[in-house]
Amino acid sequence: MGIYRVESLCRAHYFLAIVDDVSRGTWVYFMKEKNEASQFFKKFCLMIKIQFGACTKVIRSDNGVEFTSGLMQKFSEGQGIIHQTSGTDNPKENGPLERKSRHMLNVVKAFPF
């Protein structure tokens, strides 16, 4: 998600939310630049492998450049990860993530700063 006018405390303008389709477990990474998504995704895959003994098998994303870049494709192919992309202007295909993102934004807006 992004770009946001107000910087976070860690100077980020974007965030990457990863939602597990089965458990709805959610991991959020704050990014200063969109191109950091591939680095965070690699770290996420390693963390899942070490902490849970599981492998990432399929990812679903929009057609954002941060997900369709050569780095992300090369990593996914090398790990045997299937990358599915949603159709243009069709957020229903990313339903769980869209709902989770909307919820996170509503919670953050409710914080009294």
Question: How far apart (Å, rounded) are the C-alpha atoms in residues 111 and 106?
Answer: 9
Question: How far apart (Å, rounded) are the C-alpha atoms in residues 51 and 65?
Answer: 29
pTM confidence score: 0.75
Q: Helix 37-52 crosses helix 70-79 at what angle (to 10 degrees)? A: 20
Cα angle 17-22-27, degrees, rounded to a multiple of 5: 20
- The pLDDT of residue 99 is 76
pLDDT along the chain (113 residues), means of 10: 63 83 86 90 95 92 83 92 78 68 73 59
The 8-class DSSP code of residue 33 comes to S
Domains of the chain: 14-110 (3.30.420.10)
Pairing mode of beta strands 58-61, 26-31: unpaired
Measured torsion, CA atoms of residues 91, 92, 93, 95, in degrees rounded to the nearest 10: 100
- The pLDDT of residue 111 is 64
18, β-bridge pairs: 27
